[in-house]
Structure 1
Amino acid sequence: MYRKEIKVLDCTVRDGGLMNNWQFSDDFVRSVYNACVEAGVDYMEIGYLSSEKAFDRNVVGPWKFCKDEDLRRIVGDNNTSLKLSAMADIGRIDLEDIPMASESLLDMIRVACYVHQVDKAIELAHHCMDKGYEVSINLMAVSTVNERDLDEALADIAKSRVPIFYAVDSYGSMYNETVQHLVRKYKAAMPGKEIGIHAHNNMQLAMANTITAIQEGCTYLDATLLGLGRGAGNCHLEILVAFLKNPKYRLLPLLQTIQDHIHPLQKDIDWGYHIPYLVTGALNEHPRSAMKWMDSERKNDFVAFMKEMHDYQ
């Protein structure tokens, strides 16, 4: 699968922070950063760009905001080939909260939106581009969107200046055929734009779906160390790097950080494949109900959860 145009994006801290409110130690974030640098990873998504009005710093850690002083504490001037990314959610950041790229350590801003927010996502993405950033739009929960609404959204994005658009399996509900259909649809509707893949692992298909996306021409590949991410987690970065067979990427630094920081975290955070996440993925449901169940004393009562979800249906 060696293709020089492929870019690997680590989102361990950004997506993993959904499991602990981004309360990572500096040592943890610095270790992930150093591992990405040494492993030759192309981008590290170090967190979110959010408005201070939208979130309480007593509740969420600094990687929900990605202020320059916090970034510099970890990466210095980032005199490396690794590019830094942050995600911006529609409705949770104001335009004035985004500094000029020339005054920021961030290289890329990825705008996350739902289908009814595409017009606002394009506006924010253009604003970020005008400030000098690389930009993508990540359309979330696409597995719940009807074809007509999706076609309208893609037509709007096709007319925009935004160069990168992501196929996102928010609920971990997609099979290979779905990913194939979606990527082909995106490429046909938006010729000239690069397509990325962000897969969740509810049915243990995140890596398989990423491979399918690569075969269909996706060039931006999201992954996290040991799959750390919301609920069932993401495509595993270490598996992806081992699979790509690209000499620019190195596996050993990733394994060192997994051994020292990620694997020990499993004592405190239950991410990754668990039956409740399988159930929500199979039902094409948001994982919030499974995450709540996993935090309860009934976490291993899989039958009760399945029955509850069917009642919910």
Structure 2
Amino acid sequence: MGTVNLLDCTLRDGGYINNWKFGFLAIKSIITYLIESQVDYIEIGFLRNCIYDRNSTLFNNVEEIKAILPKYRANTNFTAMALHNQYDLKKLEPNDGAAIEVIRVTFHDYDVDEGLKFCKEVIKKGYQCFCNPINIMGYSDINILKLVQKINDIKPYAFSIVDTFGSMTKNDLQRIYLLIENNLDKSIVIGLHLHENLSLAYSMAQDFMAMCSNNRNCVIDGSLLGMGRTPGNLCIELMINYLNKYYNKTKYNINPVLEAIDEHIIRIKKLESWGYSDAYALSANYNLHRNYAEYLLQKGDLRTKNINHILSQIEDIKKTAFDEEYVADLYYKYKKIVLGIDTKEKISPV
């Protein structure tokens, strides 16, 4: 197996929990703890068209990121993520080596070419680029191969398997990994980003490591205490212990990570919890955008089996991008036709 590195995405993906408002001092503290833990990458937040607030991890440019980075950085690399249609690349300064080295770019299956064009510009500006296609589970095998060929043409630093809807199982991972491993340029790192809809993230990360070939370097994402939109992400503290114990990666120091969790993350989780939920497991079962389950949960008048029935009706063409009007129509029709009750009535939880 090649080198396996860890990327902490707490300040970016975890930000969906608290609207990225960690607080300036907390942001700096979390970064310091993660550097002390010797994780390989720290994702600082999103590059986004926004009004900058130093208490938030949303940034307009790299200059704003510099203000939160410490002078001592050990061997840790810093990254930021950009969704290609939510960030104006004119704002991105050429890489001067003083802040972030890596930019991770996300795009959907319906705008791959636009996303890869964005990636090319990131590379031209001197950054290592991770290509993170949203919802790899939504791609057919043929379309994965077509995407890999396009990735080979631009030669980014890394290409990530992103299980956006948390629907991936070991069989899915093995199929997708082998397609990528056998066709992706050997110089390109393979990344893995998992969600906990099916409570499989820790197990899947171990499976991924077992699959990795001897000549392929890999990067695995995780966050402190799995912080992220319900149900959450892979816990980076579990991966630190696992790598230290079974892969002789004794360089990782678990104690600063535990300090960061105790000092910052537990407090956030008490205010806005995350973790396993039947409804989000069902959304993963149908490989749906998580907002469909969230919409139905927020109605507050459906039992889990009712949610399952409605989610099962969502057409393939509607699965990837959340359509509130569409699911609202399904919801009201279900209550009227199947349950035979007025939409204003509550369904008994008994």
Structure 1 residue identity aligned to 2:309: K
Show the 5 A alignment for 1:1-313: 5-52=3-50, 62-65=56-59, 67-68=61-62, 70-102=64-96, 105-192=99-186, 193-217=188-212, 219-245=218-244, 246-293=249-296, 296=298, 298=300, 301-312=303-314
Q: 1:225 to 1:305 in 2, by over 3 A?
A: same
CA distance in 1, matches of 2:231, 2:162: 14
TM-score (norm 2): 0.81
Moved more, 241-250 or 153-162: 153-162
TM-score (norm 1): 0.90
User: For residues 175-214 of structure 1, what are the alpha-carbon distances to aligned partners after superposition, in whole Å with 9 as ceiling and x for unaligned?
Assistant: 0111111111111121312111001110001111111111
Structure 1, unaligned runs of 5 or more:
none
Structure 1 residue identity aligned to 2:83: D
CA contact (8 A) 1:200 1:234 kept: yes
CA contact (8 A) 1:17 1:229 kept: yes
CA contact (8 A) 1:12 1:45 kept: yes
User: Which of structures 1 and 2 has the bigger CA Rg?
Assistant: 2
Q: 1:311 to 1:116 in 2, by over 3 A?
A: closer
Structure 2 residue identity aligned to 1:277: Y
User: Cα offset for 1:85?
Assistant: 0.3
**Partner SS, residue 160 of structure 2:** strand
CA distance in 2, matches of 1:128, 1:78: 26
CA distance in 2, matches of 1:5, 1:132: 23
Q: 1:234 to 1:187 in 2, by over 3 A?
A: same
User: Cα offset for 1:260?
Assistant: 1.4
CA contact (8 A) 1:90 1:117 kept: no
Partner residue of 2:326? none
Percent identity over the alignment?
A: 25
CA contact (8 A) 1:62 1:70 kept: no
User: For residues 100-158 of structure 1, what are the alpha-carbon distances to aligned partners after superposition, in whole Å with 9 as ceiling and x for unaligned?
Assistant: 11075111001111123222222222222221211110111111122332222111112
User: Cα offset for 1:57?
Assistant: 5.9
Structure 2 residue identity aligned to 1:64: L
User: Cα offset for 1:252?
Assistant: 1.0
Structure 2, unaligned runs of 5 or more:
316-350
User: Cα offset for 1:248?
Assistant: 0.8
CA contact (8 A) 1:77 1:105 kept: no
Partner residue of 2:327? none
